[in-house]
Structure 1
Amino acid sequence: MQPYLVFTLAANLAAMGELAGHERRGSLTWPGRSEILGLLGAALGLERGGDFSALDLLRVGVAVFDDGTLLRDYHTVETVPSAAIRRPNSRPQALAAARLRSSTTITLRDYRTDALYGVAVWGGDLAPLRDALATPHFTLYLGRKSCPLSAPPGAKIVTAAGPEEALDALVLPPWRQGETASWLMTDAEPGDTHVEQRQDQPLDRMRWHFAARRVAVRKVAIQPKGRSA
């Protein structure tokens, strides 16, 4: 038995990072380790270049209640050749200088609608994280800044034999009560039969560099009946 911090992530729009190209940025179906640690850092008030060493020691499990429905958004982006004008004072000035030399392209952004996840965190000092999630320093997003949470995380600390048992104590949003999580993702252990690789272990947050992580995907049936502490 050990303490776990459990909380929910619900959002009308969510975007879980994938390999990002210029023309298309996709979304995976559940938030990875880097996204969870970044959200906790935002709650604590850490800047991207801040000290994440305590957070990097944490272990994370994610239960998927609803991975949402794919929504694709189309953007038009106008680019200006660098030779058109040097050091413009504004984008309109750069576009005016470029005249017919600018080019417009369509880029794609993928989102997940009405997603709902449960998160279990363990292996560190959990009380400051619980308090920070209750009164976050920065706005909490489930991915991009266009994806704020649609409900408070309802963070609480419980004692359990494992992350699956701990997630039974989640507090789901009132309009999602009674839903069941079918999948649980955690760090892979010896003996796990279904293991995938996820590129979500932070290496350099300023340069957006991430390492591969082995993730165990477990079939579960988590239906929380927890209430606010």
Structure 2
Amino acid sequence: MSVLLLRLAGPLQSWGATSRFTHRHTQVTPTKSGIIGMLAAASGLRRTDPLTELLSLDFGVRIDQPGQVLRDFQVARTLDGRDSMPLTNRYYLSDAVFLVAIGGDQALLEGLHESVRRPHFPLYLGRRACPPVAPISLGVHPGTVDKALRDWPWQAAQRLRERGELTVPLEVVSDAPPGADVTETLPDQPISFDPAHRQYGWRAVVRTRIVVPNPDGRPPALVAPSRGHTPADHDPLASL
């Protein structure tokens, strides 16, 4: 098996799974339906086209920089200004970075890599208001989704890597393999993006914690403490 790695970073991201009407929520990690939709757009597929090749891909995501959830309260009117549109609350992830691993046939992934580099349609991080800040694809590599997410370098912003320790714990959310203890199920398994009849199925996922090295980090004794906390070994009266 081969793995296509994607780095998702931008000022805003939004990955909806259950939102309807005037409240558009976001998941705290990219959804499988959102990533499959991105790959389909890069490949030039229309919403009514079948997703046959893409539906069998394995999927996993590592939260390298969680970001913060923001609420955008939107008020809109018709073009002539006569009528008000429904008030909406839209939620976004600000300043987040994710490493996404897509597992499958090497030839298919190589084609997707080229499509992401030169997309047929513009690519967004969940919504059109959320463009990426850098090239998305990190290339195709041998191995499995699990191995790639454990071995690939930490993708957080440079300022965070320099402030961190020599190792950092990260959360991984991936497709549950057969026989695994399922952590939860999410309604983000795409079946069809046809606007006339969109279909999604439930996806079993596993959440795990891993530890990755941080070459830019510092030993624990040199890491600045979090605001409002003091290191356990600090004695303010020691000099007296």
| TM-score, structure 2 normalization | 0.75
CA shift, 1:164, in A, is 3.0
Q: Secondary structure at the match of 1:37?
A: helix
Q: Say yes or no: does 1:120 pair with 2:119.
A: no
Q: 1:221 to 1:25 in 2, by over 3 A?
A: same
Q: Name stretches of at least 5 consecutive residues in structure 2 with no aligned partner.
A: 216-240
Query: Residues of 2 paired with 1:53 and 1:12: CA distance?
Result: 32
Per-residue CA distance 1:121-171 (angstroms, 9 max, x = gap): 1123211011112222222111110001111114212112x3232232368
Provide the residue aligned with 2:11 in structure 1.
12
Q: 1:156 to 1:29 in 2, by over 3 A?
A: same
CA shift, 1:172, in A, is 3.9
- The one of 106, 114, 124 equivalent to 2:87 is 106
Counterpart contact for 2:154–2:213, Cα < 8 Å = no
- The one of 145, 148, 157 equivalent to 1:166 is 148
Q: 1:69 to 1:173 in 2, by over 3 A?
A: closer
Q: Name stretches of at least 5 consecutive residues in structure 1 with no aligned partner.
A: 80-90, 97-101
Q: Say yes or no: does 1:150 pair with 2:137.
A: no
Counterpart contact for 1:141–1:149, Cα < 8 Å = yes
Aligned counterparts, 1:58-97, within 5 A: 58-78=57-77, 91-92=79-80, 96=82
Query: Residues of 2 paired with 1:170 and 1:137: CA distance?
Result: 29
Per-residue CA distance 1:11-36 (angstroms, 9 max, x = gap): 11000113223221111101111111
Per-residue CA distance 1:195-224 (angstroms, 9 max, x = gap): 111000112311332111111111112458
Q: Secondary structure at the match of 1:12?
A: strand
Provide the residue aligned with 2:174 in structure 1.
186
Over the aligned positions, Cα root-mean-square deviation in angstroms equals 2.5
Query: Residues of 2 paired with 1:21 and 1:120: CA distance?
Result: 28
CA shift, 1:191, in A, is 4.7
Q: Secondary structure at the match of 1:48?
A: coil
- The one of 184, 193, 197 equivalent to 1:205 is 193
Counterpart contact for 2:64–2:155, Cα < 8 Å = no
Counterpart contact for 2:98–2:155, Cα < 8 Å = no
Give the total of aligned pairs.
205
